[in-house]
Amino acid sequence: MTISTSPSTTLVEFRPLVGQSRRIHVNGEQLHGRRCVDCNGADGKLVPAGHVYTDAGEGASPYGWPVVVHSEHLAAGQ
Ligand SMILES: [Zn+2]
């Protein structure tokens, strides 16, 4: 039995509500919309940021997950 100290991350395609889509790494908490996909924080005001898409395998369509970010990141990006 292996205990990992660092949460494993997945490379996904992030399609934000604002701006260009890009490839980012997310951990399970971020994937499930419980942590900011920008800074990995869970405190403060988290707002919908768009979706990330995980590769579902050969021939399958990517699976979309709604993700969140802190509202201040959105303000800073505009
Ligand atoms: Zn954040």
Mean pLDDT of 7-27: 92
The pLDDT assigned to 23 comes to: 95
Rounded Cα distance, 12 and 21, in Å: 10
Mean pLDDT of 19-44: 96
Order across the sheet with 46-54: list the strands. 22-27, 9-16, 46-54, 63-70
Q: Write out pLDDT tens, residues 36-61.
A: 999 999 999 999 999 999 988 889 98
Q: How far is the CA of 51 from the centre of ligand 1 (A)?
A: 15
Q: How far is the CA of 29 from the centre of ligand 1 (A)?
A: 13
The pLDDT assigned to 4 comes to: 54
CB 36 within 8 A of CB 73: yes
